[in-house]
Amino acid sequence: MPLSLLALAAASFCIGTTEFVIMGLLPEVAADLGVSIPSAGHLVSGYALGVVVGAPIVAIATNGLPRKATLIGLTCVFIVGNVLCALSPTYWLLMGARVVTAFCHGAYFGIGAVVAASLVERNKRAQAVALMFGGLTLANVLGVPAGTALGQQFGWRSTFWAVSLIGVAAVLALILLVPRNIPNPKASIVSEFKVLGKPQVLLAMGMSVLASAALFCVFTYIAPMLREVSGLEPHHVTWVLLLFGVGLTIGNFVGGRLADWRLLASVIGIFVGIIVLLVALHFAAPIWQATVAVIFLWGIVAFAICPPLQVRVVDTANDAPNLASSLNQAAFNLGNAGGAWIGGAALTFGMGYQDLPFVAAALAAVGLALCIWSQALERRPVTLPA
């Protein structure tokens, strides 16, 4: 794997840390800005919506620009957004700064995935995408805990200053390591949007939404589930979440290798694994030892599906991959928000934390059905006109 992929991963580490670290700093942010913790929680939702809205806008705006310059520019805007976060004196200015950084998120990962795939041989594309996404998973394992600890010790603004500095290092790595002559297929805006109408592209994005929704339907409420159903103490929950992050990191690279072997077959197998482990989580929940083991395995399969789905979107939208790849990032974030909402609605209507894995398994089952449908369309013989 070329060193340029490490530069892409460094920037993805920064972006992932910025996205998720706010969850660990909500009490500090709320107290400093004089808002409630639920209001501070909207900073998470605002970021996700910024990704959904910003991904297509930025992808279209940068259509035809050199890929290296685009990635460097997006990372620089990301640094500016983090500096604004650190300087924000009010809640709404912080929200605006978060949205600025979120606009870079979807386009960076979307374009970065296309660039990563172009830097290696065809049979290693998914592994290259997985290496770039490795920065995102490491952000959950290292960046978020370290950023949370830093913010709790020296104030939440210090975390955003630290991420900004790491972002500067990532920009230097992009300048030095990423080649200039990255292919960028020229496509008009009309042709870009025509590609989005392809059934296979829509099916792949639907799988991304459902895979992410199945994850966040449970993960959003995993802490109260571990405490109230499994009987774990709060400090033990932190270690379980860290173990889950390790599982995500392992799964990311496993998924890359599986996708380079057999892409759609791997996605089908991973969806089946997700369903089985979610059902197992329901029955294991009252026994903390079994719960921890299942959560670790669930982390592996839950993120193993991301590189294959990203490559699948690029493959099916090969005439205009940049917009489709960026929109797939929006699809993942739409699934994040939708899964959390579905899980919350299930709890509101009387389901217990232990039952949420069943809801998530149903979402994954729909994703599995879409994948089987996609495979059937691919195998359908083409009838040539007489």
pLDDT tens per residue across span 6-59:
889 888 898 888 887 877 777 788 889 888 866 777 787 788 888 888 888 888
Give the distance, in angstroms, between the CA of residue 36 and the centroid of all CA atoms in the same chain: 27
State yes or no: pLDDT of 382 exceeds 60: no
pLDDT digit string (tens) for 337-348? Answer: 788 888 888 888
Task: Give 185's contacts (C-beta < 8 A, 6+ positions apart).
Answer: 319, 320, 321
State yes or no: pLDDT of 203 exceeds 60: yes
Give the per-residue pLDDT at 386: 43
Mean pLDDT, range 106-132, rounded to an integer: 83
Pick the more confident residue, 179 or 83: 83
What structural domains does the chain harbor? 1-184 (1.20.1250.20), 185-379 (1.20.1250.20)
d(CA 131, CA 29): 32
Task: Give 233's contacts (C-beta < 8 A, 6+ positions apart).
Answer: 227
pLDDT digit string (tens) for 287-327? Answer: 989 999 999 999 999 989 988 888 888 788 776 677 777 78
Is residue 106 within 8 A of residue 326, CB to CB? The reply is: yes
d(CA 176, CA 111): 18
pLDDT above 70 covers what percent of the chain?
93
Q: What is the mean pLDDT of the chain?
A: 85
Neighbours of 77 (CB within 10 A): 17
Residues 5, 54, 194, 329, Cα dihedral to 10°: 50
Of residues 9, 1, 181, 3, the one with CA closest to residue 112: 9
Is residue 63 within 8 A of residue 192, CB to CB? The reply is: yes
Pick the more confident residue, 369 or 264: 369
